[in-house]
A and B are shown apart, each in its own frame.
Chain A
């Protein structure tokens, strides 16, 4: 459900107060842009898609009934706009083979990541999230945006909770695999 302040904001926007919409853009631009950037892997494209998303939101705000959280609805519009762009581009990102991911690697990766500087670590995570296929980076980002609530994620993606669990598991595995490969490269470059 929408919060009271959000309801007021929506009312004001529907009443023709464009300044109220700029407040909404300011509140959600980082979340929308982050989701778009992780799914598309390109800053310029992410910015363009984020702008398109907000224009779509503005145009279709009258259809928003308030039966889900405003954020959930915004994420759904963003996710679908990004998927449309991905289909348009027909550009395939890295194929990640997840057949041989086992838990022994996590301990090694944790040690490797702890040794890295904070900035380096963040850059590596960002790189791997961008390398993930758009569906997987999208679902992972949304899961953590929605405070790990599968019920909210179900509303965003319009798929059952059981399907979500499977997709999340695969996405996590792919991310771990990518991190493993890139961590090895980093270690090799630094110490090799």
Chain B
């Protein structure tokens, strides 16, 4: 294609592009964009932040391991050496065996089971209720 032909092509396409009109997006386009821009600001309010920061948790873990290691090397790792006497076994016996000492009537057991069941049924309803309330607040 020579220079004159190239010019002819340019002239033709110039004319065509001059005729081509601009397209418009949907009428609520700006609103949609703006809602997406302001959304992250709202999300920041409800962003999960742990009560104890990770660094504090890390130091606590290191401290716990350190103390355990120190006590282990100082007193040894045998149960008796740690607690000094056998009172601890008695304590656990008393704590863990108390349900065996009590006796319930069948009616009480059925009542407790029914209460538990009804409570579990309520959980999804309560969850939906609180979700809706929180969503309305946002």
- A residues in contact (CB < 8 Å) with B: 18, 21-22, 25-26, 29-31, 33-34, 37-38, 46-47, 50-51, 54-55, 58, 101-103, 106, 109-110, 121-122, 125-126, 129, 140, 144, 169, 172-173, 175-176, 179
Distance of A46 Cα from B23 Cα, bound (Å): 10
Say which residue of B4, B13, B38 sits within 8 Å of A172 (CB atoms).
B13
Knowing A50-B25, A110-B12, the reply to whether A169 touches B19 (Cβ < 8 A) is no
Interface string of B22-44 (1 = CB under 8 A from A): 11111001101110111000000
Distance of A25 Cα from B33 Cα, bound (Å): 8
Q: In the complex, what residues of B have CB within 8 A of residue A30's CB?
A: 22-25
Distance of A55 Cα from B13 Cα, bound (Å): 33
Q: A102-B1, A121-B19 are in contact. List 7 more A-B contacts (CB 8 A).
A: A18-B38, A21-B37, A25-B34, A26-B30, A58-B37, A125-B20, A173-B9
Interchain CB contact under 8 A, A176 and B13:
yes
Interchain CB contact under 8 A, A140 and B23:
no
Distance of A51 Cα from B104 Cα, bound (Å): 66
Distance of A30 Cα from B18 Cα, bound (Å): 16
Interchain CB contact under 8 A, B34 and A21:
yes
Say which residue of B8, B17, B32 sits within 8 Å of A103 (CB atoms).
B8
Knowing A30-B22, A121-B19, A122-B21, the reply to whether A18 touches B34 (Cβ < 8 A) is yes
Distance of A22 Cα from B32 Cα, bound (Å): 10
Q: In the complex, what residues of A have CB within 8 A of residue B23's CB?
A: 30, 33-34, 37-38, 46
Q: Size band of the B side of the interface?
A: 20 to 34
- B residues in contact (CB < 8 Å) with A: 1, 4-6, 8-10, 12-13, 15-26, 29-30, 32-34, 36-38
Distance of A182 Cα from B21 Cα, bound (Å): 19
Q: In the complex, what residues of A have CB within 8 A of residue B37's CB?
A: 18, 21, 55, 58
Distance of A55 Cα from B38 Cα, bound (Å): 10
Interchain CB contact under 8 A, A103 and B5:
yes
Interchain CB contact under 8 A, A172 and B10:
yes
Interchain CB contact under 8 A, A51 and B33:
yes
Interchain CB contact under 8 A, B17 and A144:
yes
